[in-house]
Structure 1
Amino acid sequence: MKAESSQKVMAVIGCGVIGSGWVARALAAGMQVQAWDPNPEAITGLQNNIDTAWPALVRRGLAEGASRDHLHFSTDLDEVLEGADLVQENAPERLEIKQSLLASIDARVPNHVLIGSSTSGIKPSELQAQCHRAPGRVIVAHPFNPVYLLPLVELVGGQHTDPALMVSARAQYEQLGMRPLIVRREIEGHIADRLMEALWREALHLVNDGVATTEEVDAAIVYGAGLRWSLMGTFLTFHLAGGEGGMRHMLEQFGPALKQPWTRLEAPELTPELIERVASGSEFQAGGRSIATLEARRDRFLGELLEVVERYWPEQEGLGGRI
């Protein structure tokens, strides 16, 4: 189904888990989606992933005119890119694949069309390297799984990117109901993944050293830090930890502890024993429930949690401005 003249068109390139999430989010936002994948059978997985996402999107509220029927799938790249207002690339996380695909897209679409990459770790200047038509409009637009629910998208421009384009990019992703965060400088892994990787490394050490099970590590986040992070993040949480003196007092009181060797900077070796401990622990936590069942449970929770966060978000905006 091709778009009506007034309908925004998003071209989604690659229809795996992340690409499917973009498709579902864009459909729910009332856009026409033209999806491409080199595998003609990818449409089956795409439709299944939309089936998973749609109940949560309906609960969140669909845009006027939103419909799953506004999806067109093809293995023809030219067909999918035709008329696109926004292109989102979701190829495997391999630089040579992304560079080749992005160069092909850059050569095909008009210069004003933004091209976002879902890469979780590659810097935008590397993505732009083989694009010769308008490399500056190729940026990182890194979402978080499930893309159809989590609103954060990290936007990172490269060496060829005009800062004014980032303002335009933010507006385009806001139309998808997202909370764009413009990253000030290029860095591998951007912001959120670097933070999550640090926590992940420490979690693996705790399990590897027999300090805690996977379930106990998760409980420490769910019932402790994670609840606070949902509203305040890391810095504001520590600001409150300082009492009336705020962050300054907190750093004076607890700052010396930062030099104590509590944490490990490198990940532990993934020995067969550690892999078994982590995998079996995760399977025990799942309790025999299927991935689909756990996804549905996660989506219901995230939808309800987002409603709470959004009720408090105006206060957050007043504290820190707009992201």
Structure 2
Amino acid sequence: MNGTIAVLGCGLIGQSWSALFTAYGYDVVGWDPAPKSQSLLQEAISRCQKQVFRPSELESGLGSFRLVETPEQAVSDAFWVQENAPEVLELKGELYGRVEAAAHPDTVLASSTSSLTWSQLATSLKRTSRFITAHPFNPPHIMPLVEIYGADADLRTTAVSFFRGLGREPVLLARDVVGHIANRLASALWREAVNLVAENIADVAAVDAALVHGPGLRWSVVGAHMAYHLGGGPGGIEHYLRHLGPSQERRWATLGQPQLTPDVCTRLVAGVHAEADGRSISELEGERDRALLRLLAARSSI
């Protein structure tokens, strides 16, 4: 691989993207509005690089990472810009103006936004045909999913090809929506997980265990729709919808609409801390990432 990628915003997501890009041979020029140490950033990126699941046939060596003082410096020679600024529309808009003024007209500007839509962000740009949202699932150097939306069909095709070349699994949205796909699914699931605790049906640890050892395990190899296709037996999804669809609707009707009241929040916090059992955030992240890497390795062998 060759070429320069600009990473704007070098917090956890920016560091993770930088590790992925450099692991696949790209040189990364990073910028962050808060003062950061080049050496500390490089250490964090190097740690993440070791976790990147690279195909054995990949011949490229590691790319370089350097930090610069302005976003203009970062984007001046970049063919791709991955923006990870805070989820503040005005802040992103101001940054986009600086990027457009300094970058080559053909440079792609991709936003990692998790809560803002392409339509909201594009109002700040003159060249919307070079702008996409490319939302990763955290941490992006490990998790393969990238959710893509853009108004230009050619750019969508380019983006899919680019991320597939990085070992990612890009999915395209037919129209932009708050939360994209995965965060909407995750929000719907967590809403009911909170409801189960709020209604004293189960505690936090039991809800998490039920998910991890039940549907979560199955969802790691088949999606929600395919799971119900298989749940229909020989008749597949057609049989399921005809014969079990009404029971599904009855379950939907009983799903809760919990409120994050002080009492519910207190119980959630206590339950999570009990489940963590004294482990720090960094320890829990390490356990999660090691397990994810083993799962990815197992999936690749299937």
TM-score (norm 1): 0.87
Residues 96-123 of structure 1: CA deviation (Å, up to 9, x unaligned)? 2122212221222122111110011211
Relative to structure 1, the CA distance from residue 209 to residue 48 in structure 2 (aligned partners, 3 Å threshold; closer, same or farther) is farther
- Is 1:141–1:154's contact at 8 Å kept on the other side of the alignment? yes
SS at match of 1:231: coil
More displaced stretch, 35-44 vs 269-278: 35-44
Residues 154 and 180 of structure 1, relative CA distance in 2, 3 Å threshold: same
Instruction: Tell me the equivalent position of 2:79.
Output: 85
User: Aligned ranges for residues 269-284 of structure 1 at < 5 Å?
Assistant: 269-284=259-274
Task: Show the counterpart of 1:242.
Answer: 232
Once the two structures are TM-superposed, the CA of residue 59 in structure 1 deviates from its matched residue by 8.3
Q: Contact 1:90/1:118 (CA < 8 Å) preserved in 2?
A: yes
Are the structure 2 counterparts of residues 61 and 95 from structure 1 closer, same or farther at C-alpha, using a change threshold of 3 Å? farther
CA-CA distance at 1:22 after TM superposition: 0.5
Identity %: 39
**Farther off after superposition, 179-188 or 254-263:** 254-263
| Cα distance in structure 1, aligned partners of 2:268 and 2:165 | 39
Tell me what 1:145 maps to: 138
Corresponding residue of 2:7: 12
1:97 aligned residue: 91
Whole-Å separation in 1 of the counterparts to 2:220 and 2:100: 38
Give SS of 1:98's match: helix
Matches within 5 A, 1:94-173: 94-132=88-126, 134-157=127-150, 161-173=151-163
- Alignment match, 1:218: 208
**Paired residue for 2:22?**
27
- Rounded to whole Å, the distance in 1 between the matches of 2:171 and 2:68 is 31
Give the aligned residue type for 2:52: L
Q: Aligned partners of 2:7, 2:54: CA distance in 1, in Å? A: 24
Match of 2:184 in 1: 194
Structure 2 residue aligned with 1:228: 218
Displacement of 1:213: 1.2
1:67-82 equivalences under 5 Å are 67=62, 70-82=64-76
Deviation at 1:311, TM superposition (A): 2.9
Residue 177 of structure 1 pairs with residue 157 of structure 2: no
**Equivalent residue letter for 2:289:** D
Is 2:254 the counterpart of 1:262? Answer: yes
Partners of 1:30 and 1:63 within 8 A in 2 = no
What is the number of residues matched between the two proteins?
A: 300
Indicate the SS of the match to 1:19.
Answer: helix
Shift of 1:49: 3.5
What amino acid is aligned across from residue 169 of structure 1 in structure 2? A
User: C-alpha displacement at 1:210, in angstroms?
Assistant: 1.1
The 2-side partners of 1:126 and 1:82 are apart by: 25
Distance in 1 between residues matched to 2:56 and 2:45, nearest whole Å: 15
More deviation, 293-302/218-227: 293-302
- Structure 1: runs of 5+ lacking an equivalent: 1-5, 313-323
Find the aligned partners of 2:72 and 2:2 in 1 and give their Cα distance. 19
Partners of 1:60 and 1:201 in 2: how far apart? Answer: 37
Are positions 1:204 and 2:194 aligned together? yes
Q: Say if 1:251 and 1:137 are closer, same or farther in 2 by CA, change over 3 A.
A: same
Cα deviation 1:141-166 (Å, max 9, x = unaligned): 00011111001100101xxx321111
In the alignment, structure 2 segments of 5+ residues that lack a partner are none
1:284-318: per-residue Cα shift (whole Å, max 9, x none)?
11111222222221111111111222233xxxxxx
- 2:78 counterpart letter in structure 1: A
Cα deviations by residue, 1:245-269 (Å, 9 ceiling, x for unpaired): 10111111211123322213x4x22
Equivalences for residues 290-305 of structure 1 within 5 A: 290-305=280-295
Aligned counterparts of 1:301 and 1:60: Cα–Cα separation in 2: 19
